[in-house]
Amino acid sequence: MESSKKVALVTGASSGIGRAAALALAREGYAVLLTARRAERLAGAVEEIRRSGGAAEFVACDLAGPGAAALLARDVDSRFGRLDLLVNNAGWGYCSPLARVPEEVVRMMIELNLVAPILLTKECLPALRRSRGTIINIASGSGLLPSPWYAVYGATKAALVSLSDSLRIEERDNGVRVVSICPGPVWSEFFRASGGAPVHADRLGIKIQTADEIGRIIVRQARRPGRTVATTGAVRLGGFLSRFAPRLFDLIALQWARKVRPEVEQPFLHR
C-alpha cells in the first residue's frame, strides 16, 4: 500500500546512530523501516516510535548475507509502496595493525561497510528515482583522514565517500541526491563492539558527539542535502592539516592513536 508519508529505510538501526536517526526521522514525519540483526532491539525502537505517534516497522536481517539487499528493497516496496530516504549506517570496525588483521575480519568489514551499502543502494535506486529521494551514507572521519590501526575500516569508509561522490553525479539528472556524513568519535556501542585492541574513548581529548546529535544532522541533511559533511571541527581541522601539512599531521595522528589505543602495539590482541 502506498504510504501517505515519506518513507525512510535505516540500516544498523538497533543502536547508536542508526537508532537515533530512526527516532529523529519518525519525529520529522517519516514512516521508518528499521533493519539490523538484533530483532529484540529493533522491536524496542519501533515500540518507542509508535508510542510517540510515529509510524515504524522493522526487518531483522544480516545485510552482509547473499541476496539480503534485494529482499530488503522488495520488503520496503511491499510494506510502503515508496522510498524517499535511504540511510546506509550499518558498519563495524577492528582496531589492529594491518599485519595482524585476520583475513575473515578484512572480508567481514568490506562486506558490511562497503559491499552491503553498494548493493542496497543499487536495489533501492528505482524507488528513489521515482520519489526523487535522498541517499545518506554514514561514513566516518576515518574515511577522510589517515587512521592508524583502523586502516581497513578507514579504507571502507573512504570508499563509501568516493561512492557517494560518483553516484551524486550519476544520479543528478534523476533527481536523487547523495550525501556522505563523516562523524568523528561518537558515544555509542561502536568502541565496545569493535574487534581487536580496546579503544580508550575517555582519552580522546576531543569533542565526542552523541548519537542523537548525529541523528539531528541526518534529519537536516534529509531536508537540505549537502555533499560531504564532517560533523566536528576536529575532523575538519584534521582534513586541513592532512592536506597542507601532511608530515605534521602524521605525527599528531600517531601520537593520538598511541594515546587512545595503547595496547594495539603489544604482541597479542586483547580480544
Residue 184's domain comprises 7-265
Q: Which residue, 127, 241, 227, is CA-closest to 182?
A: 227
pLDDT at residue number 201: 67
pLDDT at residue number 271: 41
Confidence band for 1, pLDDT divided at 50, 70 and 90: low
Chain centroid offset of residue 13 CA: 10
pTM of the model: 0.91
Residue 242 included in any domain: yes
Confidence band for 225, pLDDT divided at 50, 70 and 90: very high
Residue 2 included in any domain: no
pLDDT at residue number 193: 64
Distance CA 43, CA 24 (A): 16
- Contact status, residue 114 vs residue 63, Cβ threshold 8 Å: no
Residue 45 included in any domain: yes
Residue 38 included in any domain: yes
SS (H, E, C) 111-133: HHHHHHHHHHHHHHHHHHHHHCC
pLDDT exceeds 90 at position 36: yes
pLDDT at residue number 269: 44
The rounded mean pLDDT for the chain is: 91
What is the number of structural domains in the chain?
A: 1
pLDDT exceeds 70 at position 128: yes
CATH assignment of the domain containing 139? 3.40.50.720
Confidence band for 197, pLDDT divided at 50, 70 and 90: low
Q: What percent of the chain has pLDDT over 90?
A: 77
Beta pairing, strands 134-138 & 177-182: parallel
**Range of lowest pLDDT (25-34, 142-151, 251-260):** 251-260
Residue 153 annotated among the catalytic residues of the structure: yes
Across residues 9-38, what is the average pLDDT? Answer: 96
